[in-house]
Every structure is written in C-alpha cells, then in structure tokens.
Amino acid sequence: MSDETEALRWWLYLLRSARGRTYVGISTELDRRLAQHNGEQPGGAKSTRAGRPWTLARTWGPFSRSEASIHEYQLKRCRGPRRSTWEPSEPSRSREAIATAELETPQTTRSVAKKTAAKKTTTAKKTAAAKKKTATAKKKTAAAKKKTAAKKKKTAAKKKKKTAAAAKKKTTAAKKKTAAKKKTVKKKKTAKKGALSRRS
C-alpha cells in the first residue's frame, strides 16, 4: 500500500438526531464513531449526548487528515438544510490560511459598508437638494402667478373705472343735449305765442 493510499483514510460525516439536530465530524472508522456518539461505546462527543439516537445522514471522502480537517471546518460553517446539500471544494489553503482570511473579511465588510453608507448619504443629500430646488421653483411659480393675478385684477378695475367714467360722460352729454332741445322748443313756443298776441 502506497503512502498516498494510506493517507486517504479520513471521512467527513454528518449525523442527524431524531429531533432534527445535526453534528459534523471526521473519523477513520465511521461505524465505531457512530456507536460512540450513540453511547454504545466510550469516547463520544459531549454535544451528541442530548440528541441520541443519531443516524448517519451523509459522508464524504476519503481524504487526507489535513483535507478532512479543512472540509470539516467548511461544513461546520454551514447552517440548517445547507449542510445536507454541501459539497467539498478543492482544498487549496491550509486551515490557518482560511482562519486568517476569516479575520480579514470583517475589515473588508466594514470597508464596503462604509462606502455604501457614504454613497447613501451622498444620494440622500442630492435628493434633499433636488427637493429643495423643486420647492423653491414651485414657490417662485406661485409668486409669479399671484403677481399676474394681481396685475389682471388691477387692469380689470382700471378698465371698469374707465368704462364707468365714459358711460357717465355720455349720459351727461345726452342729458345736456336733451335739456338744450327742450329749451329750444320752449323758446320757439314762446316766440310763436308772442306773435299771435301782436296780431290780435
């Protein structure tokens, strides 16, 4: 048996309890490890005592010890139904490298979050400025309409006053003409009456 074949003897396994809990581990002997978790043999993990009986839900392998450890770490990061559908990726980094990357991730996340927040703030400021500009434009339009309405009202009042003055002037002229006509008629009557008196 070669060293490579000898090394690939580790299995990654997923256990499921009767209550739906899951447990992830690695072992070179799956049957023995399952018996230990179920209390049939000594050596089971403390966290599996409460969920007995456990059944073997899925297995992956065989792997080398280091590969199995990396995959175990990756699978433990999954939660819920994703554990049942998880598939191992090619291990290209050590467990320490993965842990280092995990420590760096929050900084990247914070940086992205900071940029996103700054972008949102800028967008909010632009939106507020646009709204303010629109409100100012509306205010100016309303003021212009009010001014136009006042001007129209003033023009209408002036026109009405002028029309009333013209009508009054016309009425006065008509009355004056009528009075003059009456005076002329009266004068003629008086003259005619005087002429008749002299004849008699």
Residue with tokens 């690939």: 8
Section 60-67 average pLDDT: 94
- In sequence order, what are the beta bridge partners of 17? 54
Residue 23 has pLDDT above 80, yes or no: yes
Residue 76 has pLDDT above 90, yes or no: yes
Q: Which of 54-63, 66-75, 168-177 has the weakest average pLDDT?
A: 168-177
Task: Say if residues 64 and 26 touch (Cβ distance below 8 Å).
Answer: no
All structural domains of the chain, each given as residue ranges with its CATH number in brackets, are 3-91 (3.40.1440)
Residue 161 has pLDDT above 60, yes or no: yes
Residue 102 has pLDDT above 90, yes or no: no
Section 110-114 average pLDDT: 58
Exposure letters 60-98 (e unless 16+ CB within 10 A, then b) = bbebbeebbbbbbebbeeeeeeebeebebeebeeeeeeb
Can you give the pLDDT at residue 90?
59
Residue 105 has pLDDT above 70, yes or no: no
Q: pLDDT of 77-89, one tens digit each?
A: 998 889 989 998 7
Distance CA 41, CA 47 (A): 15
Residue 111 has pLDDT above 60, yes or no: no
- Mean pLDDT estimate for the chain: 83
Most confidently predicted of 7-11, 64-68, 93-97? 64-68
More confident: 106 or 44: 44
Indicate the DSSP class of residue 47.
G
Task: Say if residues 33 and 24 touch (Cβ distance below 8 Å).
Answer: no
Section 36-47 average pLDDT: 91
Residue type, 44: G
Q: In the chain, pLDDT over 90 holds for what percent of residues?
A: 36
What phi, psi does 55 have (nearest 5°)? Answer: -125, 155
